[in-house]
Structure 1
Amino acid sequence: MKHKGGASTIRAKISRIVLGVSMLALLLSAAVSLIGIQSAKRKMLDSSEALGSTAAADSEQALIAQAKENLIVQAMEKADLTEQRLLRIKAQVSLMAAYIAPLYEQTVVISDSRPQRDGDWVMQYANVNTLADEQVQQEIARTKNAFYVLQPLCRQNEQDISSVYFASASGFMLSYDPKSEDNAASLFQDDHFDPRDRDWYTNAVETGEAVFTKTYLDVFSRLMVTCSTPVYAADGSVEGVFGMDILIEDINASIVGSSVGENGYAFLFNNDGEVISSPKLTIGSDGKYHTTLLRDEPGFAQIADAMVAGESGFHETVGEELFVAYARVRSTHWGLGIVLPRDEVVAPAVATRDHIISQTNKATDEISSMIAMMLLLVAVAIVVIIVIVTLTTEVLSRRITEPILTLTDGAKIIGSGDLDYTVSMHTGDELELLGDTLNHMTVSLKEYMNNLAAITADRERIAAELGVATTIQASMLPCIFPAFPGRKEFNIFANMHPAKEVGGDFYDFFLTDPDHLWVVIADVSGKGVPAALFMVITKTLLKNYAAFHARPGEVLTLVNTQLCENNDAGMFVTAFMGVLEISTGKFTFSNAGHNAPLLYHGGAYAWLKTTPGFVLAGLDGITFSDHEIVLSKGDRLFLYTDGVTEALDPHEELYGDDRLLHMLNTEAVKKLPIDQTVRAVEEDIRRFADGAEQADDITMLTLEIC
């Protein structure tokens, strides 16, 4: 009855849990769906607005970049056209001057000095009052010869030429102009008029080539520029200057006046920053062109300097939001600019944004209708799912709870200590696998308990044996200090900390007679019991051979031969061995692949200069050489194994030779007794390791001459 009641309780819990979870899942799903749809709707609106803004911004930037590129290209093209036009004028001026030079030298002259007319073109001349002699009159007549030749050239180039004239170095001027006859008297009868004082005359003479003047309004209120060049005589002297006037309005009509977009325009400005050609130039009531300074134009104050300085580039004005591209006209040092309203450039981007917003509003209405339909479908689905889940839960709860009760009874029996009990399950699913696992666990538990008893006994035996080995190894090394209390000539101290229970490092020191003290420090390859056994053999051989031989090199050679025999394990030993002749201080030593010791002499530690030989037990037949030094009172010899310099910190950084040398040379350590010196190094290694596991044996030995 207890089992049935328990099963009924579990089934009820399963039913409640499944129904509760199902309802919760349905409600959460419906809520999440509704929230998601509403969120998606909001995000779509936000995304559409962002898309519209982004698309408009991207389009605007692209259009601006394209407009910038196009305007710069147009400005450069129009500047090049203006340049070509001016260069052609410059070439015509040079050509006409070339005609004048030889004709000016002709002796045949025309006697009639009245103005000559060719249609609308009129030839006339004037001179200052000082020109009355016959020689000048002859020069004037010869100059007119040249103008008869230039008449057809002027007629053929009326679109470029407003007037041409020649000013002699003598002071008279001959002009050819279709519009100047009515005003000739006021110009040429002026007693103060001297062409040689004009900019077009002086600039040409100074430069020696064809040059352009600044723009100006002539006496007929026409905005123009003059191109002039010197005329040279056969001997190279300047006979005069030939000039040609070009109307700026002609350039405006042919180049600047062409349209740029719907509302854009081009303009020319001179090197003073004055707008000299533009569709916006007007003729006032006085009949004159009204020009303006570029800096006075709205929005141009910040870019006027760059344009007047002759740079080429692109700017956006701040006030009227205009795009301005400009380029240099090299012949006259003018500049050509193109202006285009920003609104005209970005209009397509604005239209794109408006279209996206319109489509977004339409999609929003459609989504709202879909949400209402989805809510109705979700409500119907919830009712159907509740009915299905209720029926399914009742069936599943029975199939689940009955095997669970069987497993529970089996677990109780096994838990009581009956490890021979077997659970019988035949459900064909994970519960059957659980029953088989329980049976397998029972068998494994029996085996584990039996094995654990045997392993525990073996570990206790091994631990006891290692403890004995540790004690034996420690007892083999000199550990009572002071080691020679009756000897005042020297003092010695050593210490070893194995990485495991037993280690492969060892040290030794002994007297073979009252005047000879031997010291040894060595490091066996590997760690643990094998290294400890090899250490015992090596230590014994070194001490035994030292009793019968006076030099360390001989001892190491003999020990190497012995260790190489039957060394099937391939182990080896690094060793440093030395003997001190106490009466003289002579220290003889030999090195078998061991770390170089540190010698304290003259108030500081330094590396003892030694050539390390090969390791012991590495190769049979090796001989080891000896080295000698003389130790005096106060000198110290610090020996150590690689466990000192190869100690690691938590970041696996080595303690290193430099750190050891620095530590020993600190003022505080140099003043310490030798036993405290060793302990100071040990403490510094512990601080450096910062809790990292000791990887190798650490052994140090210090000998001091007193």
Structure 2
Amino acid sequence: MDRSEGFGERLLGVLLDRAHEMPPELIAPLVAEEVARVGGREVSILLQDYEQVLLVPLSGRGLRVGGPEPVEDSPAGEAFLSRRTVEVPQDGSVRMYLPLLDGSDQIGTMAVTLDRVDDDDRRLLRRLAGLVADMIVTKDAYTDLFFRARRSAPMSVAAEIQWSLLPPLSMTVPQVEVAGILEPAYDVAGDSFDYALNGDVLHVAMIDAMGHGLDAATMATVAIGAYRHTRRADTDLSEVYAFMDRAIDQQFGPDHFVTAQMMILNITTGRLQWVNAGHPAPLLIRDRAVVDRLESPTTLPVGFGGEDPVVSERTLHPGDRLLCFTDGLIEEHQAGGEQFGEEQLVEWTNRILRDRTEVRAVVRALSHTLKQERGGTTSDDATIFLIEWRGGDADHLAALDRARDEGPPSLDR
């Protein structure tokens, strides 16, 4: 077996070998140099802003820095939303937009111009974009460089706390996909969500802490911390509720509470279990339309000392989606007007599902459309979290001779 280093391995290997000690600001010039080795130029790294409206350029030596590009109706946005390479012919050249994927989370897009593109270029640049995404996420843990680039408006202290709590906004494996969004992105305080995939079990929680500002953010922090503590101890949902309840009561007293909804989904069988502590019932989507509400007995919000909650169960069908949301989404209204209401939420969900299929794209479109329908502003936090269960397994990803190594095809425009 030939183990000598080829061109592609050498190019990607330099990035891997240097990544461990590389300061964050040196990622850009090294990437630009590596792209030049394959005949590329005009490298741009575009990161998703916190509102999920724009892809904003990262500044750095060797990078082409222009204006932000919209997520909707732009080649960069198409690559971002679809997770596929988009190629745009220009005068004698091709502008390639490659999704920056860390695992399955989408953090932005890398754009490169080449005189011509062949399959070797596509494969190499796709893998380079994957490495760049991993480096950005890793370095983000100890720099403000990428946070500042993504922030397109002033952010409150409470919102900074909430964003530091969140897991990736999306996650995809063959059996299940999830995506979430928070409003208002730069002033959110009490809303939050969390999830974890442990073996065949997907754990999900959504919370809404009472009040606004730092008090709400502090309660949300304690609630999410208590949830993670019990989830990692492998306790059942009723015990998770009880522990969160005690944590909020002991820390904040009897006049404070957090509404919550906790779920467990077996991604192999589709068996769903959930506990509702004051949240609106999730909507069940099947065949691209809302078909039911997951009605269930509710217990008191976390912090009020409710009785042991009833754990509800349901078996999903492959392709089913669950739309979870906080009450700020449906209770918001313009001054003097009626509340937005669940009926309008269902109506707009069905409209959007007719035009869009990707989970992340549906969440974004629904959140932004509903915000516009509510007058473009919100006086309360509003959160959407969408789960799609597909079933099956992911064994092919662990077998070298069965893995789909070539990745997704490009989308020519």
TM-score (norm 1): 0.32
**Per-residue deviation at 1:607?**
1.0
Is 1:542 aligned to 2:227, yes or no? yes
Is 1:565 aligned to 2:250, yes or no? yes
**Per-residue deviation at 1:567?**
2.6
Alignment CA distance shift 1:564-1:673 (3 Å): same
Q: Matched residues in 2 for 1:570 and 1:503: separation? A: 18
Alignment CA distance shift 1:698-1:469 (3 Å): closer
The structure with more helix, counted as a fraction of residues: 1
User: Of 151, 156, 159, which aligns to 1:470?
Assistant: 159
Whether contact under 8 Å (1:553, 1:625) holds in the other structure is yes
Whether contact under 8 Å (2:249, 2:256) holds in the other structure is no
Is 1:582 aligned to 2:267, yes or no? yes
Q: Matched residues in 2 for 1:604 and 1:480: separation? A: 23
Q: Matched residues in 2 for 1:480 and 1:679: separation? A: 11
The structure with more strand, counted as a fraction of residues: 2
Larger RCO: 1 or 2 (CA < 8 Å, sep 6+) = 2
Is 1:507 aligned to 2:196, yes or no? no
CA deviations over 1:485-536 (Å, ceiling 9, x no partner): xx2100110011238734100001112x311110111111111100000000
Percent of matched pairs sharing the same residue: 28
Alignment CA distance shift 1:551-1:647 (3 Å): same
Q: Could you tell me which residue of structure 2 aligns to residue 656 of structure 1?
A: 341
Q: Where does structure 2 lack aligned partners over 5 or more consecutive residues? A: 1-153, 391-413
**Per-residue deviation at 1:569?**
6.9
Query: Does the residue aligned with 1:665 lie in a helix, a strand or coil?
Result: helix
**Per-residue deviation at 1:647?**
1.8
Q: Where does structure 1 lack aligned partners over 5 or more consecutive residues? A: 1-464
Q: Matched residues in 2 for 1:583 and 1:550: separation? A: 20
Alignment CA distance shift 1:667-1:700 (3 Å): closer
Alignment CA distance shift 1:666-1:501 (3 Å): closer
Whether contact under 8 Å (2:299, 2:306) holds in the other structure is no
Whether contact under 8 Å (1:551, 1:626) holds in the other structure is no
Is 1:496 aligned to 2:170, yes or no? no
Q: Could you tell me which residue of structure 2 aligns to residue 610 of structure 1?
A: 296
Q: Matched residues in 1 for 2:247 and 2:160: separation? A: 27
Alignment CA distance shift 1:586-1:532 (3 Å): same
TM-score (norm 2): 0.53
Q: Could you tell me which residue of structure 2 aligns to residue 183 of structure 1?
A: none
Whether contact under 8 Å (2:158, 2:189) holds in the other structure is no
**Per-residue deviation at 1:679?**
1.7
CA deviations over 1:510-569 (Å, ceiling 9, x no partner): 12x311110111111111100000000000001110122342222112221232224337
Alignment of 1:203-218 (within 5 A): none
**Per-residue deviation at 1:668?**
4.4
Give the number of equivalent residue pairs. 236
CA deviations over 1:233-289 (Å, ceiling 9, x no partner): xxxxxxxxxxxxxxxxxxxxxxxxxxxxxxxxxxxxxxxxxxxxxxxxxxxxxxxxx
Q: Matched residues in 2 for 1:698 and 1:616: separation? A: 19
Q: Could you tell me which residue of structure 2 aligns to residue 683 of structure 1?
A: 368
Alignment CA distance shift 1:686-1:621 (3 Å): closer
**Per-residue deviation at 1:652?**
2.6
Q: Matched residues in 2 for 1:613 and 1:554: separation? A: 13
Q: Matched residues in 1 for 2:256 and 2:331: separation? A: 20
- The one-letter code of the counterpart of 1:659 is Q
Aligned-pair RMSD on alpha carbons?
2.3
**Per-residue deviation at 1:670?**
6.8
Q: Could you tell me which residue of structure 1 aligns to residue 324 of structure 2?
A: 639
Whether contact under 8 Å (2:352, 2:366) holds in the other structure is no
**Per-residue deviation at 1:468?**
5.2
Q: Matched residues in 1 for 2:253 and 2:267: separation? A: 40
Q: Matched residues in 2 for 1:503 and 1:608: separation? A: 27
Whether contact under 8 Å (1:498, 1:505) holds in the other structure is no
Whether contact under 8 Å (1:561, 1:621) holds in the other structure is no
Alignment of 1:302-701 (within 5 A): 467=156, 469-481=158-170, 483-484=171-172, 487-498=173-184, 501-511=187-197, 513-568=198-253, 570-601=255-286, 603-605=288-290, 606-618=292-304, 620=305, 622-666=307-351, 668-669=353-354, 671-691=356-376, 693-701=377-385
CA deviations over 1:681-700 (Å, ceiling 9, x no partner): 22322322234x41100111
Q: Matched residues in 2 for 1:562 and 1:703: separation? A: 28
Whether contact under 8 Å (1:575, 1:593) holds in the other structure is yes
Alignment CA distance shift 1:636-1:690 (3 Å): same
CA deviations over 1:297-337 (Å, ceiling 9, x no partner): xxxxxxxxxxxxxxxxxxxxxxxxxxxxxxxxxxxxxxxxx
Q: Matched residues in 1 for 2:382 and 2:286: separation? A: 24
Alignment CA distance shift 1:550-1:601 (3 Å): farther
Q: Could you tell me which residue of structure 1 aligns to residue 386 of structure 2?
A: 702
Whether contact under 8 Å (1:647, 1:685) holds in the other structure is no
Alignment CA distance shift 1:667-1:675 (3 Å): closer
Query: Does the residue aligned with 1:666 lie in a helix, a strand or coil?
Result: helix
Alignment CA distance shift 1:570-1:669 (3 Å): farther
- The one-letter code of the counterpart of 1:470 is A
CA deviations over 1:87-141 (Å, ceiling 9, x no partner): xxxxxxxxxxxxxxxxxxxxxxxxxxxxxxxxxxxxxxxxxxxxxxxxxxxxxxx
Whether contact under 8 Å (1:635, 1:704) holds in the other structure is yes
